[in-house]
């Protein structure tokens, strides 16, 4: 197997396992998970992802573009922005957590510098993470939009409010925002 084949097969593997069935259940249409996994395998250029994650602005553009593209590919009745964003955030998190991709794209190996390199990644939002953010956020600073409904109903403005609060929490904990999922998942 060539290195290129290995990279492709490793991306395929992560695309298949990073988003479990429970992560995107009840989204209003059958087939969403298969569409998401296929998109992660075939439509996310990892070299571009690693290049864009170095800047907040370019990473946000990259993430917004792929959220909308994936949402468009979802079947009728299941075109959820929130499901697309959560799936992407899970997949991209597992890409940077993967040792081979992390080494291949030269992410730092020490914890502090690694967290600095991945600081623009978002925490994948779901009910558990939302509750964790609400419990750990500065209560006086919580905007009224910080009310969790569902992944299916998640809109960009509410997601942004959660991500802003998650960033503040992550800074207090001296970690990357994406790592908060490790704290809040199935508490």
The stretches in the chain having pLDDT less than 50 are: none
Residue 123 DSSP symbol? P
pLDDT attached to residue 25: 67
Q: State the sign of the Cα–Cα–Cα–Cα dihedral 58, 60, 62, 68.
A: negative
- Specify the pLDDT at position 90: 96
- pTM of the prediction? 0.93
Euclidean distance between CA atoms 67 and 69, whole angstroms = 6
Q: Which two tokens stand for residue 122?
A: 């978002």
C-alpha dihedral sign at 23, 126, 72, 69: negative
pLDDT digits 0-9 by tens, 35-71: 999 999 999 999 999 999 999 999 999 999 999 999 9
Q: Report pLDDT for 144.
A: 67
Whole-angstrom Cα distance, residue 105 to residue 53? 11
pLDDT of residue 111: 96
Contact indicator for 129, 184 with CB cutoff of 8 Å: yes
- What pLDDT is attached to residue 17? 93
Q: What pLDDT sits at residue 77?
A: 83
Contact 171, 45 (CB under 8 A): no
User: Phi and psi at residue 82, in whole multiples of 5°?
Assistant: -60, -40
């Amino acid at each position: 197997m060539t290195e290129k084949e290995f990279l492709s097969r490793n991306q395929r593997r992560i695309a298949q396992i990073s988003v479990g069935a429970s992560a995107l259940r009840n989204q209003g249409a059958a087939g969403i998970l298969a569409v998401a996994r296929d998109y992660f395998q075939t439509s996310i250029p990892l070299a571009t992802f690693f290049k864009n994650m170095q800047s907040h602005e370019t990473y946000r553009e990259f993430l917004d573009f792929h959220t909308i593209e994936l949402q468009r590919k979802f079947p009728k009745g299941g075109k959820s922005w929130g499901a697309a964003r959560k799936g992407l955030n899970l997949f991209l998190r597992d890409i940077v957590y993967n040792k081979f991709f992390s080494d291949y794209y030269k992410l730092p190996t020490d914890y502090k510098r690694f967290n600095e390199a991945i600081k623009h990644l978002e925490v994948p939002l779901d009910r558990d993470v939302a509750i964790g953010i609400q419990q750990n956020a500065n209560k006086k600073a919580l905007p009224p939009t910080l009310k969790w409904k569902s992944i299916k109903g998640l809109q960009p403005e509410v997601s942004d409010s959660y991500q802003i609060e998650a960033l503040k929490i992550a800074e207090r904990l001296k970690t990357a925002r994406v790592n908060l999922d490790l704290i809040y998942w199935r508490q």
